[in-house]
Amino acid sequence: MLRVSFFRVSFLLSLFILGCNHAIAGLVINDLDRNYLFDFNTFRGVGVTQDPSSTQIDSDVWRFTGLSDGTGEFGGSYLTGDWARGAAVSAVSTGGIYAFNHGSMEEPDWSLGFQPTANDFNPGALTMRVINGTQSVVDRISFGFDLLIRNNATRSSVISLQYGLDDLVYRESDHGDWFTDEAPNENLGWEEYVHQESVLATMLSPGDSIYFRWFFRDGVGQGSRDELSIDNVFVNFGASSAVVPEPHFCCWLLFMLAIPFRYRAGYLKVSKSSTS
Ligand SMILES: [Ca+2]
Ligand SMILES: [Ca+2]
Ligand SMILES: [Ca+2]
Ligand SMILES: [Ca+2]
């Protein structure tokens, strides 16, 4: 007599769904309790593509939207114009994606930079896709980055951090927004804010994704926009041993039922360095 339990059917169904998800590329985290870090030190602003050189950005992991030259997709290839404004060691004016050196000439520290304009990143977003490549249900997610601001223009910009599990519904981080000052003060060079938080009350089954999105838009003021950059992005997945894999749709359902992300957030303004 063939007896198939509900659990077994659910488990097989979830394996099938996971198999589908594994076709999606992104930052695949295979090791628990390990920091996956992007320091952008070899990035030189020469494009966003699926199989990047060390000087490019991986479009499987990173997506840029809101450029006048187009809207990016995960896995796409974007090698000219706004997508590839190059490496800059001083202030720029043309809108688009840059590698900004926020270190010194002697000790460079490259980062992933944005020059917003009326038609670029206004609004716009950077989205990072992260996939649970482990065999465990991830229930602890640590995340952090450095936000760099060069307040050299007369307008203020707003940067919001958001999360989503399906790339459709996003929630704002309870941390709130970052604002650049309206009145310029180039003497400050790059202002650096170190941010990290733990995303709690969220479970990722094997194969599930989580999306981190930085959303950019104008604040107040007139004229041109400040320069923004992101550095030292890290993600760390943890799993409590007591958690048993559940069917894939349960995590999605929890999210849709508006169980809020709860997290410990903190950010610290650590330094101001001169423009190099
Ligand atoms: Ca760096
Ligand atoms: Ca543009
Ligand atoms: Ca500028
Ligand atoms: Ca400003």
Give the number of whichever ligand sits closest to the CA of residue 234: 1
Q: Ligand 3 centroid to 197 CA: how many Å?
A: 30
Spell out the domain ranges in the chain.
26-273
pLDDT in tens, 224-255: 999 999 999 999 999 987 555 555 555 555 55
Give the pLDDT confidence score for residue 187 in this predicted structure: 82
> Thinking of the domain 26-273, which architecture would CATH place it in?
Sandwich (2.60)
All residues with CB under 5 Å from ion ligand 3: 93, 227
pLDDT of residue 19: 42
Mind listing the pLDDT tens digit for each residue in 142-179?
Answer: 999 999 999 999 999 999 999 999 999 999 998 889 99
Closest CA to 275 of 149, 94, 142, 133: 149
The Å distance, Cα 163 to ligand 3 centre, comes to 28
pLDDT of residue 188: 81
| pLDDT reported for residue 174 | 86
Q: What is the pLDDT of residue 12?
A: 41
Please list the ranges in the chain whose pLDDT falls under 50: 1-22, 257-276
What is the pLDDT at residue 252? 54
* Integer Cα distance of 122 and 68 in angstroms: 10
Look at residue 201 in the predicted model and tell me its pLDDT: 79
Q: How far away, in angstroms, is 41 Cα from ligand 1 center? A: 5
pTM: 0.82
- pLDDT of amino acid 261: 42
pLDDT in the model for residue 244: 55
CA pair distance 6, 53, nearest whole angstrom: 47
